Amino acid sequence: MPDSDTAIDVQNVTRTFVLRRRTGWMRRERSVLHAVSDLSFTVRAGEMVGYLGPNGAGKSTTIKMLVGILTPSGGRLRVAGFDPSRQRLRLARRIGVVFGQRSALWYDLPLRDSFELVRRIYRIPPERYRRNLDEFVDLLDLGPFVDTPVRQLSLGQRMRGTITAAFLPNPEVVYLDEPTIGLDVVSKAAVRSFLERTNREQGTTILLTTHDMGDVEQLCRRVMVIDHGRLGFDGELAALRARIGGVRTLRVDLAVSMPAMAVEGAEVVRVEGTRQWLQFPADTSAAPLVSEVAARYPLVDLTVGEPAIEDIVARLYTTDRLPAPRVG
Ligand SMILES: Nc1ncnc2c1ncn2[C@@H]1O[C@H](COP(=O)(O)OP(=O)(O)OP(=O)(O)O)[C@@H](O)[C@H]1O
């Protein structure tokens, strides 16, 4: 049973789509696609959870059901105590949604006017609105473009504006679908630290869908992995790493070219001029490795590469032999 601490409660939820395919003159074939199958999880108030999976896994379908714009074919859903499809309007005041690059801002208006409209729609008290806006403008560095019409903003600026609009009413639960996709480095860093801080300080519950392992690393202790509409993993990111094994890559730029480095706990897999690639187990920290390389070699620069979400899911599913998707 969910308690008052439960922000999102999903029990045995299923969503099917009926597909009709033309197979010849006057002939149509009907099939049923199970976009989400028997999905169960709960998210406690104040948690930030990564919701991962490859394209077509069922992530957007889940979020649309949590918002209330899609009705489940079966099972039970509650968000902040409400049934999303039946109590959509009441729930709308308590949740925020950021859906990829589809912006909820008014295209021809300056950002500031869009925020003002959000204030009126959500009836945010003026004092709280001013306090939130000042804080968000500062955290997301909106100052230089808050008076610019949305259509003139870069993708990263627009995303920072969209996130501001979603968080202005102090929602209890926020769904973010690919909030950092295609963003420049500055915007990505601003968005990540904003989410981290808002979750920590305000206790906002956040469900984050992303293909960027950097987002997950920085923001989510807990991850859920979905594929073919089924939950394949729900637990700590470290446990997922440990379960799938796998490796991470450290790319090192040295001041001079040299033979492959010899570093404990890692293996050089490629050398190209002054650049070398080392692989090390994904469930260990990169920190000791970085220290050793820095102490013993003429280090100029380095980056740690995360395994792609697709690789993680593929490994998870080959180790666990989860059932194949159902169509029929
Ligand atoms: N309205 C619809 N009608 C028919 N099939 C649909 C509909 N919406 C989604 N699907 C199908 O349901 C499955 C899950 O789609 P969904 O959009 O939830 O995946 P996703 O995990 O969000 O993928 P992506 O990362 O590409 O956004 C896919 O096979 C998709 O084609």
| Rg of the chain on CA atoms, in Å | 23
Phi, psi angles (nearest 5°) of residue 312: -60, -45
* b/e per residue 114-129 (b: at least 16 CB within 10 A): bbeebbeebebeeeeb
Sort strands 205-209 and 267-272 into parallel, antiparallel or unpaired: unpaired
Residue 135 has pLDDT above 90, yes or no: yes
| Coil vs helix vs strand at 42 | strand
Please classify residue 323 by burial: count the beta carbons closer than 10 Å to its beta carbon, then call 0-12 exposed, 13-18 middle and 19+ buried. Answer: exposed
Residue 99 inside a domain? The answer is no
d(CA 54, CA 59): 9
Domain match, 255 and 236 both: no
Average pLDDT for 223-233: 91
Atom of ligand 1 nearest to the CA of 54: 25
| Coil vs helix vs strand at 271 | strand
Residue of 107, 316, 327, 120 lying closest to 225 (CA atoms): 316
Residue 253 inside a domain? The answer is yes
Name the residue range of residue 258's domain.
Answer: 247-306
Task: Choose the weakest-confidence range: 19-23, 56-60, 146-150.
Answer: 19-23
Sort strands 6-24 and 275-281 into parallel, antiparallel or unpaired: unpaired
Q: How far does the centroid of ligand 1 lie from the alpha carbon of residue 198, in Å?
A: 30
207 pairs with which residues across the strands? 49, 175
272 pairs with which residues across the strands? 275
Average pLDDT for 140-147: 94
Atom of ligand 1 nearest to the CA of 61: 18
By percentage, how much of the chain surpasses pLDDT 70?
90
Residue 16 inside a domain? The answer is yes
Task: Give the residue whose CA is nearest to atom 1 of ligand 1.
Answer: 17
* Number of domains the chain contains: 2
**pLDDT class for 3, splitting at 50, 70, 90?**
low
Name, in order, each residue with C-beta under 8 angstroms of 223's C-beta and a sequence gap of 6 or more. Answer: 49, 50, 51, 52, 216, 233, 234, 235, 236, 237, 240
Domain match, 251 and 216 both: no
Rounded to the nearest 5 percent, the helix, strand and coil shares of the chain are 35, 35, 35
Domain match, 26 and 55 both: yes
pLDDT at position 317, please? 63
**Other C-beta atoms within 10 Å of 270: how many?**
12
Q: How far does the centroid of ligand 1 lie from the alpha carbon of residue 56, in Å?
A: 5
Task: Give the residue whose CA is nearest to atom 31 of ligand 1.
Answer: 56
Domain match, 80 and 181 both: yes
Domain match, 82 and 177 both: yes
pLDDT at position 102, please? 67
Task: Give the residue whose CA is nearest to atom 7 of ligand 1.
Answer: 17
ipTM: 0.96
Q: What is the DSSP string of 78-129?
A: EETTB-TTTSHHHHHTTEEEEETT---S-TTSBHHHHHHHHHHHTT--HHHH
Residue 15 inside a domain? The answer is yes
Residue 89 inside a domain? The answer is yes
Q: How far does the centroid of ligand 1 lie from the alpha carbon of residue 53, in Å?
A: 12
Name, in order, each residue with C-beta under 8 angstroms of 316's C-beta and a sequence gap of 6 or more. Answer: 225, 227, 232, 233, 240, 243, 244, 322
Q: Which residues line ligand 1 (CB under 6 A)?
A: 17, 33, 35, 53, 55-61
pLDDT at position 324, please? 40
* Residue ending a domain, choose from 193, 222, 241: 241
Domain match, 216 and 263 both: no
Per-residue pLDDT reduced to its tens digit, 144-200? 999 999 999 998 899 999 999 999 999 999 999 999 988 888 889 999 999 999 999
**CATH code, domain with 44:** 3.40.50.300
Task: Give the residue whose CA is nearest to atom 11 of ligand 1.
Answer: 35
pTM of the prediction? 0.80
Q: How far does the centroid of ligand 1 lie from the alpha carbon of residue 235, in Å?
A: 24
Q: How far does the centroid of ligand 1 lie from the alpha carbon of residue 59, in Å?
A: 8
Task: Give the residue whose CA is nearest to atom 26 of ligand 1.
Answer: 55
Residue 135 inside a domain? The answer is no
d(CA 74, CA 53): 22
Query: What is the end-to-end Cα distance of the chain in Å, rounded?
Result: 33
Q: How far does the centroid of ligand 1 lie from the alpha carbon of residue 307, in Å?
A: 24
| Coil vs helix vs strand at 18 | strand
Sort strands 267-272 and 275-281 into parallel, antiparallel or unpaired: antiparallel
Domain match, 233 and 299 both: no
By percentage, how much of the chain surpasses pLDDT 90?
63
Q: How far does the centroid of ligand 1 lie from the alpha carbon of residue 58, in Å?
A: 6
Residue 319 has pLDDT above 70, yes or no: no
Choosing from 18, 20, 60 the residue with most ligand 1 atoms within 8 A of its CB, the one to mutate for a pocket test is: 60
pLDDT at position 326, please? 40
| Coil vs helix vs strand at 132 | helix
Atom of ligand 1 nearest to the CA of 15: 12
Domain match, 275 and 300 both: yes
Please classify residue 215 by burial: count the beta carbons closer than 10 Å to its beta carbon, then call 0-12 exposed, 13-18 middle and 19+ buried. Answer: buried
Residue 314 inside a domain? The answer is no
Domain match, 73 and 176 both: yes
Q: How far does the centroid of ligand 1 lie from the alpha carbon of residue 60, in Å?
A: 7
Residue 223 inside a domain? The answer is yes
